[in-house]
Protein backbone atom coordinates (compact mmCIF):
# COMPACT_ATOMS: atom_id res chain seq x y z
CA UNK A 1 0.00 0.00 0.00
CA UNK A 2 2.86 2.32 0.89
CA UNK A 3 4.45 1.63 -2.49
CA UNK A 4 1.21 2.61 -4.26
CA UNK A 5 1.07 5.87 -2.28
CA UNK A 6 4.71 6.58 -3.11
CA UNK A 7 4.11 5.92 -6.81
CA UNK A 8 1.07 8.20 -6.79
CA UNK A 9 3.08 10.92 -5.02
CA UNK A 10 5.91 10.70 -7.54
CA UNK A 11 3.48 10.89 -10.47
CA UNK A 12 1.75 13.93 -8.95
CA UNK A 13 5.07 15.63 -8.23
CA UNK A 14 6.28 14.97 -11.75
CA UNK A 15 3.11 16.45 -13.23
CA UNK A 16 3.38 19.57 -11.08
CA UNK A 17 7.05 19.95 -12.00
CA UNK A 18 6.37 19.73 -15.72
CA UNK A 19 3.39 22.08 -15.42
CA UNK A 20 5.50 24.59 -13.52
CA UNK A 21 8.27 24.45 -16.12
CA UNK A 22 5.78 24.97 -18.92
CA UNK A 23 4.38 28.03 -17.20
CA UNK A 24 7.86 29.37 -16.55
CA UNK A 25 8.81 28.95 -20.21
CA UNK A 26 5.59 30.65 -21.25
CA UNK A 27 6.32 33.60 -18.97
CA UNK A 28 9.87 33.83 -20.29
CA UNK A 29 8.68 33.89 -23.89
CA UNK A 30 6.12 36.57 -23.10
CA UNK A 31 8.61 38.83 -21.29
CA UNK A 32 9.09 41.92 -23.48
CA UNK A 33 12.49 43.26 -24.48
CA UNK A 34 14.05 45.78 -22.08
CA UNK A 35 14.65 49.47 -22.68
CA UNK A 36 18.08 51.12 -22.58
CA UNK A 37 18.20 54.61 -21.10
CA UNK A 38 21.89 55.24 -20.44
CA UNK A 39 25.35 54.84 -21.96
CA UNK A 40 26.20 51.86 -19.75
CA UNK A 41 23.44 49.89 -21.52
CA UNK A 42 21.83 48.68 -18.32
CA UNK A 43 18.60 46.90 -19.37
CA UNK A 44 15.42 48.22 -17.77
CA UNK A 45 12.03 46.53 -17.86
CA UNK A 46 9.38 49.22 -17.61
CA UNK A 47 5.62 48.64 -17.74
CA UNK A 48 3.13 51.09 -19.18
CA UNK A 49 1.73 51.57 -15.69
CA UNK A 50 5.09 52.73 -14.29
CA UNK A 51 5.74 56.46 -13.85
CA UNK A 52 9.07 56.25 -15.69
CA UNK A 53 7.42 54.81 -18.82
CA UNK A 54 6.87 58.30 -20.23
CA UNK A 55 10.52 59.16 -19.53
CA UNK A 56 12.11 56.34 -21.54
CA UNK A 57 15.05 57.54 -23.63
CA UNK A 58 14.35 58.14 -27.33
CA UNK A 59 16.57 58.94 -30.32
CA UNK A 60 16.90 62.70 -30.81
CA UNK A 61 15.75 64.46 -33.97
CA UNK A 62 18.06 64.11 -36.96
CA UNK A 63 18.08 64.90 -40.66
CA UNK A 64 20.73 63.33 -42.92
CA UNK A 65 21.10 62.51 -46.62
CA UNK A 66 21.11 58.91 -47.86
CA UNK A 67 22.84 57.23 -50.82
CA UNK A 68 19.96 58.19 -53.11
CA UNK A 69 20.19 61.88 -52.23
CA UNK A 70 17.00 61.76 -50.12
CA UNK A 71 16.73 63.36 -46.70
CA UNK A 72 16.05 60.83 -43.93
CA UNK A 73 14.81 61.92 -40.52
CA UNK A 74 12.81 60.70 -37.54
CA UNK A 75 9.57 60.98 -39.45
CA UNK A 76 10.99 58.76 -42.21
CA UNK A 77 11.43 56.00 -39.64
CA UNK A 78 8.33 56.63 -37.52
CA UNK A 79 6.61 53.35 -36.72
CA UNK A 80 9.53 51.35 -38.14
CA UNK A 81 11.74 48.89 -36.30
CA UNK A 82 15.31 49.60 -37.35
CA UNK A 83 18.91 48.60 -36.74
CA UNK A 84 21.40 51.46 -36.53
CA UNK A 85 25.18 51.35 -36.81
CA UNK A 86 28.17 53.60 -37.54
CA UNK A 87 30.78 52.86 -40.20
CA UNK A 88 32.88 54.36 -43.00
CA UNK A 89 33.39 53.03 -46.50
CA UNK A 90 37.19 52.81 -46.43
CA UNK A 91 37.32 51.07 -43.03
CA UNK A 92 39.69 48.07 -43.34
CA UNK A 93 38.97 46.41 -40.00
CA UNK A 94 35.55 45.87 -38.44
CA UNK A 95 33.30 47.57 -41.01
CA UNK A 96 33.43 44.82 -43.68
CA UNK A 97 32.29 42.28 -41.07
CA UNK A 98 29.54 44.61 -39.89
CA UNK A 99 28.31 45.24 -43.42
CA UNK A 100 28.34 41.52 -44.17
CA UNK A 101 26.26 40.82 -41.07
CA UNK A 102 23.79 43.59 -41.91
CA UNK A 103 23.41 42.03 -45.35
CA UNK A 104 22.09 38.94 -43.53
CA UNK A 105 19.56 41.07 -41.64
CA UNK A 106 18.50 42.71 -44.91
CA UNK A 107 17.98 39.29 -46.52
CA UNK A 108 15.95 38.05 -43.55
CA UNK A 109 13.51 40.98 -43.69
CA UNK A 110 13.79 41.96 -47.36
CA UNK A 111 10.02 41.80 -47.89
CA UNK A 112 9.09 43.32 -44.53
CA UNK A 113 8.47 47.06 -44.87
CA UNK A 114 8.28 47.48 -41.09
CA UNK A 115 12.00 46.69 -40.62
CA UNK A 116 14.77 49.06 -41.76
CA UNK A 117 18.56 49.38 -41.55
CA UNK A 118 20.31 52.70 -40.96
CA UNK A 119 24.09 53.06 -41.28
CA UNK A 120 25.68 56.42 -40.43
CA UNK A 121 29.09 57.27 -41.81
CA UNK A 122 31.61 58.57 -39.27
CA UNK A 123 33.70 60.04 -42.11
CA UNK A 124 31.22 62.31 -43.89
CA UNK A 125 34.08 64.33 -45.41
CA UNK A 126 34.97 61.19 -47.38
CA UNK A 127 31.61 59.43 -47.69
CA UNK A 128 29.63 61.72 -49.96
CA UNK A 129 26.28 60.72 -51.45
CA UNK A 130 27.99 59.43 -54.61
CA UNK A 131 30.51 57.39 -52.58
CA UNK A 132 27.72 55.87 -50.50
CA UNK A 133 25.76 55.09 -53.67
CA UNK A 134 28.73 53.19 -55.11
CA UNK A 135 29.19 51.36 -51.80
CA UNK A 136 25.51 50.39 -51.79
CA UNK A 137 25.78 48.99 -55.30
CA UNK A 138 28.89 46.99 -54.36
CA UNK A 139 27.11 45.33 -51.45
CA UNK A 140 23.72 44.71 -52.98
CA UNK A 141 22.02 47.17 -50.66
CA UNK A 142 18.30 47.72 -51.21
CA UNK A 143 17.94 51.51 -51.17
CA UNK A 144 14.36 51.29 -49.91
CA UNK A 145 15.37 49.02 -47.02
CA UNK A 146 18.81 50.21 -45.97
CA UNK A 147 19.81 53.88 -45.63
CA UNK A 148 23.48 54.90 -45.71
CA UNK A 149 23.51 58.36 -44.17
CA UNK A 150 25.94 61.27 -44.45
CA UNK A 151 25.83 64.85 -43.25
CA UNK A 152 27.35 67.24 -40.75
CA UNK A 153 30.08 65.49 -38.76
CA UNK A 154 29.32 67.25 -35.49
CA UNK A 155 25.64 66.35 -35.68
CA UNK A 156 26.37 62.71 -36.58
CA UNK A 157 28.82 62.34 -33.68
CA UNK A 158 26.46 64.03 -31.25
CA UNK A 159 23.63 61.74 -32.30
CA UNK A 160 25.89 58.69 -32.04
CA UNK A 161 27.18 59.41 -28.55
CA UNK A 162 24.21 61.07 -26.91
CA UNK A 163 21.29 59.23 -28.53
CA UNK A 164 22.63 55.82 -29.59
CA UNK A 165 25.23 55.67 -26.78
CA UNK A 166 27.94 54.64 -29.25
CA UNK A 167 31.31 53.71 -27.74
CA UNK A 168 29.72 52.58 -24.49
CA UNK A 169 33.10 52.00 -22.81
CA UNK A 170 33.82 55.71 -23.09
CA UNK A 171 30.27 57.00 -23.01
CA UNK A 172 29.41 60.66 -23.12
CA UNK A 173 32.72 61.87 -21.65
CA UNK A 174 34.67 61.46 -24.87
CA UNK A 175 35.64 64.67 -26.66
CA UNK A 176 33.28 65.36 -29.56
CA UNK A 177 36.23 65.90 -31.91
CA UNK A 178 37.72 62.44 -31.33
CA UNK A 179 37.17 59.86 -34.05
CA UNK A 180 34.14 57.66 -33.46
CA UNK A 181 34.42 53.92 -34.02
CA UNK A 182 32.09 51.26 -32.64
CA UNK A 183 31.09 47.71 -33.54
CA UNK A 184 27.67 48.00 -31.93
CA UNK A 185 24.36 47.47 -33.70
CA UNK A 186 21.50 49.25 -31.96
CA UNK A 187 17.92 47.96 -32.21
CA UNK A 188 15.32 50.75 -32.13
CA UNK A 189 11.57 50.25 -31.91
CA UNK A 190 8.80 52.09 -33.75
CA UNK A 191 8.73 54.85 -31.12
CA UNK A 192 12.46 55.56 -31.32
CA UNK A 193 13.41 53.70 -28.12
CA UNK A 194 16.52 51.50 -27.81
CA UNK A 195 15.58 47.85 -27.25
CA UNK A 196 18.84 45.98 -27.84
CA UNK A 197 22.59 46.22 -28.43
CA UNK A 198 24.67 43.66 -30.34
CA UNK A 199 28.26 43.12 -31.41
CA UNK A 200 28.04 43.70 -35.15
CA UNK A 201 31.18 41.69 -35.92
CA UNK A 202 29.87 38.39 -34.54
CA UNK A 203 27.61 36.29 -36.80
CA UNK A 204 26.01 34.53 -33.82
CA UNK A 205 24.80 37.87 -32.52
CA UNK A 206 22.77 38.24 -35.72
CA UNK A 207 20.71 35.23 -34.68
CA UNK A 208 19.84 37.02 -31.45
CA UNK A 209 19.15 40.27 -33.29
CA UNK A 210 16.79 38.57 -35.75
CA UNK A 211 14.94 36.91 -32.87
CA UNK A 212 14.61 40.24 -31.04
CA UNK A 213 13.29 41.99 -34.15
CA UNK A 214 10.63 39.30 -34.47
CA UNK A 215 9.78 39.74 -30.79
CA UNK A 216 9.32 43.49 -31.31
CA UNK A 217 7.02 42.81 -34.24
CA UNK A 218 4.88 40.56 -32.03
CA UNK A 219 4.73 43.20 -29.30
CA UNK A 220 3.39 45.66 -31.87
Contacts of 63 (CB under 8 A, 6+ apart): 71, 72, 73, 151
Report the CATH fold assignment for 35-219: Glutaredoxin (3.40.30)
- Whole-angstrom Cα Rg for the chain: 22
Question: pLDDT above 90 covers what percent of the chain?
Answer: 71
Strand 35-36 and strand 43-44: the pairing is antiparallel
Sorted by where each begins, the domain ranges of the chain are: 1-31, 35-219
- CA–CA distance, 19 with 85 (Å, rounded to integer): 42
- CA–CA distance, 64 with 66 (Å, rounded to integer): 7
**Model pLDDT for residues 103-152, shown as the tens digit of each residue:** 999 999 999 999 999 999 999 999 999 999 999 999 999 999 999 999 99
Calculate helix-pair angle for 203-219, 95-108, nearest 10 degrees: 40
**Model pLDDT for residues 183-199, shown as the tens digit of each residue:** 999 999 999 999 999 99
Q: What is the pTM of this model?
A: 0.82
What is the predicted pLDDT for the residue at 20?
A: 47
What is the predicted pLDDT for the residue at 31?
A: 52
3-class SS letters over 85-100:
EEECCCCCCCHHHHHH
Amino acid sequence: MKQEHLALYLISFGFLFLFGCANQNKETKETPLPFYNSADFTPEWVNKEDEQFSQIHTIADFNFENQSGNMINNESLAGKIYVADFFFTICPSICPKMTSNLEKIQAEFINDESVMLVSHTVMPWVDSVSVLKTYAEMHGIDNSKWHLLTGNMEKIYQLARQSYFAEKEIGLDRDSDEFLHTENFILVDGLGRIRGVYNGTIPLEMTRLIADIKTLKQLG
